[in-house]
Structure 1
Amino acid sequence: MKQPPIDRIVITVCRNDGLWAAEEAGLFFGASPDKDIAKASAARRARERMGEGHACQIRVEGEHGFAI
């Protein structure tokens, strides 16, 4: 029996107004001049969402993958 597709939340780390920031559903958060700080902010948000029972993916602009 085929399983229904799992909806997942996608958080993207990208440049916004000259800073690195994480974006989820059009809302930016965790803005910083340091890309690693924005990635850490995205990872915290992803853990929160997974704790709520959601599947979550982090995409990082200019990178092929990022694991938490």
Structure 2
Amino acid sequence: MREITNRTVLTVLRHDGGWSVEQDGDYFGQSADKEVAKAAAHRRALSLHESGRACQVRISGEHGFWGRT
């Protein structure tokens, strides 16, 4: 398997009383609903992928990834 070291990471996490997506210190996709924030992250990931950039979507609290809120 090829390791991709230069990829964009999008993280869905709790932020300002709701859910947001964090990318390089910037937040977008704010919503009270986690699923809406996840959809925003996946839309951005698709856009990045289509432009030729590698990316990863992480969901805080799912699959062992936990972050401070």
Q: Does 1:10 align with 2:9?
A: yes
In structure 2, the partner of 1:22 is 21
| Count of residues paired in the alignment | 63
Closer, same or farther: CA 31–53 of 1 in aligned 2, 3 Å? same
Give the secondary structure class of the aligned counterpart of 2:21: strand
Give the secondary structure class of the aligned counterpart of 1:45: helix
Normalising by the residue count of structure 2, what TM-score does the alignment of the two structures yield? 0.83
TM-superposed CA distance for 1:64, in Å, is 1.1
Q: Gaps spanning 5+ residues in structure 2: where?
A: 65-69
TM-superposed CA distance for 1:29, in Å, is 0.4
Q: What CA RMSD, in Å, does the superposition of the two structures yield over aligned residues?
A: 1.8
2:50 partner letter: G
Normalising by the residue count of structure 1, what TM-score does the alignment of the two structures yield? 0.85
In structure 1, the partner of 2:32 is 33
Q: Is the 8 A contact 1:15 1:21 kept in 2?
A: yes
